[in-house]
Amino acid sequence: MDERTWPNNNTDVCIRCAACMAVCPVSRVTPLFPGPKQTGPGAQRFRKPGDPSVDEWIDLCIGCRLCDLACSSGVPISELNLIARAKYLDEKKRPLRDWLLTHSYLFSRVASFFSPITNFLFKNRGVRWMADLLLKIDRRRELPVYESPTFRQWFGGHRSTGEKKIAYFYGCYINTNEVDVGKAAVQVLEANGLEVFLPPQECCGLPMLGNGDFEGARKMGLKNVPSLLQAIRSGSEIIFSSTSCGEMIKHEYNRLLAIPGAEEVAPHLFDLFEYLRKLKESGNLNLRLKELPIRAAYFAPCHLRSLGIGLPALDILRLIPGLHIENIDADCCGLGGTFGFKKEKYEISQEIGKDLKEAIDRLNPEAVLTDCEGCRMQIRHLTGLKVLHPVQLLRDALT
């Protein structure tokens, strides 16, 4: 691992106040994970670079970063966990499964091209049993459904027009699995006078980073940053609709991965709804919205919270006439990207999700809205409800 990616050693500023212990979703559901206070600054005081890792529980950190937000002392708890996990997994060696889960971008285009076959296989019980048995990907977890054509292919045949150009980082999942979210984002941006273009892009690398593969994540960053820089230098801002990709590019590329140029990208990178909120504040948001008499509930993904921009989607959705929208009082959906697919972690993921499901049940909505694809997968899995990206609803409200 690159020495530059090591954090400032901030463990001694921890005052042991246990605010992180009040919010950790994993230690709330299982005694197997001692919680952020112990696994982060607590254990860090005993770690020496040359010593073998003994952190057998470190891989249970779900990477939600809620501990970082709770801490009043500025301890980079999740970062300490991530670095300790990288060392632990480097020594223990990662299974093939982790490589497959974090490199889906390599085969997603093929999977999309052959989507009828992919989806048949992914839904097939026998295949899922085999994946469970051989790869330890839990058979109870639905595998993503692939769509064809991809978002990028659709956009190739689409002519975007507007007064001002704006770049869109759509992310892997939108491209091959939830194409409609990308279409909706494009339609909403165009309805606000923006001409959308797609800079060349690869997976942001978050799945790899989350699995402690700093090198793999860094490679993705090194591919994305020059392309994003080019978009910025041509005078455009960049929009993302996946809060996880956005958090990764805006903050982790610079902070954890030290990717040259990331610092220049960050101030020009906006969450889709954060950007719409900016338009609203300057009086430039298209407010011609029709009535949508739906009872919906909004869930703020962990990485949106980590972005520190408030709840912009909720701010904008509240402008849709007739829409009854409530904020879901729960933390973390429990999927944690690839975490919830892994056999040894599936039950922890489900237990965390149970708290979210109960919070949703209390509101009894017709649809759930959330900005993160992982949360959408998990909420569908938990509730069977209709789960959308907020931009899909906003698109439906456009006149």
Partner 1 sequence: MQYDLIVIGMGLSGLMAARTAAETGRKVLIIGKGMGCLTLFSNTIDLLGKIPGTMELRDGLSQWIKDHPDHPYSKVGLNGVEEGIASFSSLFRSPYSFRAIGDRNSFIPTGAGHRRPTYLIPGTMIAGASCNKALIIGFKGFRDFSAGYVAGPLKWRGTTLSVPSLFNREISATALSRWMERESFRETIARDIRKHLKEESCVGLPAILGIHDPIKVKMDLEEKIGVEVFEIPGLPPSLPGMRIFNRVKEWLIGKGVDFLYGYPVSEISVKEKEVKGIDVHHPPASGFHSADRFILATGRFIGGGLTADRGSVSEPLFHLPVAQPGSREEWFGKSFFDEHPIHRAGILTDSSLRPVDQTEKPLFENVWIAGTMLAGHRCIDEISREGIEIATGYMAAKNAMKQ
Rounded to a whole number of angstroms, the distance between the first and last alpha carbons of the chain is 52
d(CA 280, CA 143): 38
To partner 1, the closest distance from the beta carbon of 11 in angstroms equals 16
Residue closer to partner 1 (CB basis): 315 or 396: 315
Reported in sequence order, the residue ranges of the chain that DSSP labels E, i.e. its strands, are 164-169, 194-197, 237-240, 269-271, 295-299, 324-327, 367-370, 386-388
Distance of CA 32 to the CA centre of its chain: 25
Q: What is the 3-state secondary structure (H, E, C) of 83-134?
A: HHHHHHHHHHCCCHHHHHHHCHHHHHHHHHHCHHHHHHHHHCHHHHHHHHHH
Q: What is the 3-state secondary structure (H, E, C) of 217-252?
A: HHHHHHHHHHHHHHHHHCCCEEEECCHHHHHHHHHH
Q: What residues line the site for partner 1 (CB under 8 A)?
A: 15, 17-19, 21-24, 27-32, 34-35, 68-74, 250-251, 254-255, 262-263, 266-267, 269, 277, 281, 305-311, 314-315, 318, 326-327, 329, 355, 358
To partner 1, the closest distance from the beta carbon of 22 in angstroms equals 4
d(CA 273, CA 296): 17
Backbone angles phi, psi at 195, to 5 degrees: -95, 120
Residue closer to partner 1 (CB basis): 142 or 344: 344
Residue closer to partner 1 (CB basis): 242 or 306: 306
To partner 1, the closest distance from the beta carbon of 244 in angstroms equals 16
Residue 205: beta bridge partners?
A: none
- Two tokens at 10? 């901030």
To partner 1, the closest distance from the beta carbon of 312 in angstroms equals 9
Residue closer to partner 1 (CB basis): 70 or 121: 70
To partner 1, the closest distance from the beta carbon of 327 in angstroms equals 5
To partner 1, the closest distance from the beta carbon of 68 in angstroms equals 6
CA distances from 5 to 46, 51, 92, 213, 272 (A): 20, 19, 21, 12, 29
Residue closer to partner 1 (CB basis): 176 or 306: 306
To partner 1, the closest distance from the beta carbon of 202 in angstroms equals 21
Residue closer to partner 1 (CB basis): 155 or 253: 253
Residue closer to partner 1 (CB basis): 35 or 63: 35
To partner 1, the closest distance from the beta carbon of 236 in angstroms equals 17
- Two tokens at 78? 């999740």
Residue closer to partner 1 (CB basis): 75 or 179: 75
Residue closer to partner 1 (CB basis): 23 or 43: 23
Which residue from 22, 2, 102 is spatially nearest to 66, judged by alpha carbons? 22
Sign of torsion, CA 273 77 260 98? Answer: negative
Backbone angles phi, psi at 298, to 5 degrees: -110, 135
Amino acid at 230: Q
To partner 1, the closest distance from the beta carbon of 151 in angstroms equals 27
